[in-house]
Structure 1
Amino acid sequence: MGRLLVMSLACVLHATSWARAPVDVVILCDAGYPPYSYAEEGEAKGIYADILRVAFARMPDYRVRIRPLPWTRALAELAKGRAFALYPPYKRTSERPWMDYSRPILREKLVVFVRADVARKLSDKPFPQAYVGLRIGQNSGFINILDQDYQRMLGRGELHQVRVKDNRTSLAMLYRGRLDAYINDRRAVLWELERMHSNGVLGEMGLTWIVEGPWLSGEEGHLGYSRSRPRAYPYKEDFKKHLDAILADLEREGVIYRIVTRYDASYPLQLKAVGI
């Protein structure tokens, strides 16, 4: 009798598990930030996509689809609560009070890249004082220069910040002399430079026109969650808790490191560094 009861209970539990289908979740991502996050024929590609797909495969209670969008549009969707989450924002609690964050996924390195002819004329002063009067490019939607001197100089009009839609456009503007310097993640810049060089976009100059300037800071990318319309996403806290635990496992197991280094091997470029 006892054995029959155990078998009956097992059947009930088995049937219950089949009845509970995975929750469908849509995650937005930046469509124009290679090699970290970008789109090819509508499919999410890049380092963050590779890491998160490994993580989502370990979350059987959720069926996750990644949807690439232009960064500023993705941020707007999240701010209004029309999207559950997106990657890879930096943690900016004061500028984005409508966003919660996962644990850090990986660390990026912000670097200034400078036209070689401009770099030769820079003073011996450190960044940003040596860059007075220059046109400095940054990608739209990224709030990533926390240096107080930089912000004060912007406010006084001593620096001219130009917002550009993506990495490739910014580097093309730098190449053509429409920008004097460009600030972005080092890996992202080198990745795009290699592609432009391989495609012949840079002509006979190759990479002699650009130099690597000072390293400004490290920034950590996250999965950002909307705090708006919480009733639309009742699974948010459970999803966040499980993803954070899995990301910690992936870091400890070396999975994240191995994914990142696959992309590092793609650009054997050596640029002359200045101002470090």
Structure 2
Amino acid sequence: MRILVTWLLYLVMHGIAQAQTPVSVTVLCDASYPPYSYAENGEAKGLYSDILRTAFARMPDYRVSIRPVPWPRGLAALEKGTAFALFPPYHRPLERPWMDYSRPILEESVVAFVRTELAQQRAIEDFPRAYVGLRIGLNRGFNIIAAPSYKTMLAAGEVTQSYATDNRTNLLQLRRKRIDVYINDRLSILWELQQMHSEGLFASSGLDWLVEGPKLSSEHGHLGYTRINEQAYPYKQDFMQQLDQALLALEHDGSIIRLAQRYSSIDLLPATDQGSGEGATSGNDL
């Protein structure tokens, strides 16, 4: 009898221990989208990684690891159901019927940065009307600006566009007056300016040659979940609910804003009124 009681007690305690063991979950992230999500020596870095790690720490039922992958590969894995989740996709329910979404994590804003002397001469918040005759710099792969009047102006030659490979190249073009305006994601530009300033590239004049202009559009990033092969992820609904609750708490207590400030601490830009232009599409295809 004593042996039986001991065995039953062991089974009960073993079952409790198993019930308390966190579920191991792997989440994929974009390996090439700084400063939001990128890989550094194989480790997930960036603002979304910081936010989600903070949220996951409030979910003791789960032990979550983050694995950076090329963005197309991550999307393909969710579409096939071979991966559970991926960040940070935009909300595209018609394009991706095989994906569910967390609550919005973070707003990303597309803005126009303008050379200071032009900002002093024009009402730069009036986009695109105030930009006649200017040279607009964009990154290759940047979705074309969506404002209908901008397209009309571009077709008529009233504005011109040029393309460069990345933020740094376009910012240097702006500094050297080879373009007049640079349009891209705000935080990406601020993060690159911070890197360039820390490297001493603007040591002689700071950033007094540059003014932040109007916000042209915005998107929200999410954690996207596969809707395929869901039997492989029986914890999905509970995970989604717990994460949404954690993200809401981080939003309410100001944690997300504080984390974002680490990536946009540039305080050298001249202050301007943030007008709202006619619109642009997002700077990537998340």
- TM norm structure 2: 0.71
2:16 aligns with 14
* Contact 1:28-1:83 within 8 A present in 2 as well: no
- Once the two structures are superposed, residues 7-50 of structure 1 have per-residue CA deviations (whole angstroms, 9 ceiling, x without a partner) of 688436415426x662331321343321x333332222222211
**2:55 corresponds to 1:31:** no
**2:15 corresponds to 1:40:** no
Alignment map for 1:80-229 (pairs within 5 Å): 83-116=83-116, 119=119, 126-132=126-132, 134-138=135-139, 140=141, 147-150=147-150, 166-176=166-176, 179-202=179-202, 204-227=204-227
Shift of 1:230: 4.8
Give the letter for the 1:216 counterpart.
L
- Once the two structures are superposed, residues 33-92 of structure 1 have per-residue CA deviations (whole angstroms, 9 ceiling, x without a partner) of 21x333332222222211111212233443322223455554555556554333223323
Gaps of 5+ in 1: none
Distance 1:32 1:104 in 2: 18
Alignment map for 1:251-262 (pairs within 5 Å): 251-262=251-262
2:239 aligns with 239
Give the letter for the 1:197 counterpart.
H
SS in 2 for 1:171: helix
Q: Matched residues, percent identical?
A: 51
Give the letter for the 2:259 counterpart.
I
Shift of 1:271: 2.6
Distance 2:76 2:243 in 1: 23
* Contact 2:29-2:71 within 8 A present in 1 as well: no
Q: How many residues align?
A: 270
Distance 2:274 2:260 in 1: 27
- Once the two structures are superposed, residues 150-207 of structure 1 have per-residue CA deviations (whole angstroms, 9 ceiling, x without a partner) of 4666688876666665433443444455654322333332222122022123464542
Distance 1:69 1:111 in 2: 27
Gaps of 5+ in 2: 276-286
- Once the two structures are superposed, residues 81-134 of structure 1 have per-residue CA deviations (whole angstroms, 9 ceiling, x without a partner) of 554333223323345444432101122333211234665676779212333563
Shift of 1:139: 6.6
- Once the two structures are superposed, residues 225-273 of structure 1 have per-residue CA deviations (whole angstroms, 9 ceiling, x without a partner) of 3445556555443332221122112223333233334445x32222353
Distance 1:188-1:271 versus aligned 2 partners, 3 A rule: farther
2:278 aligns with none
Distance 1:51 1:192 in 2: 20
Distance 1:46 1:78 in 2: 21
* Contact 2:29-2:37 within 8 A present in 1 as well: no
Distance 2:95 2:148 in 1: 16
* Contact 1:31-1:44 within 8 A present in 2 as well: no
1:273 aligns with 272
Give the letter for the 1:267 counterpart.
I
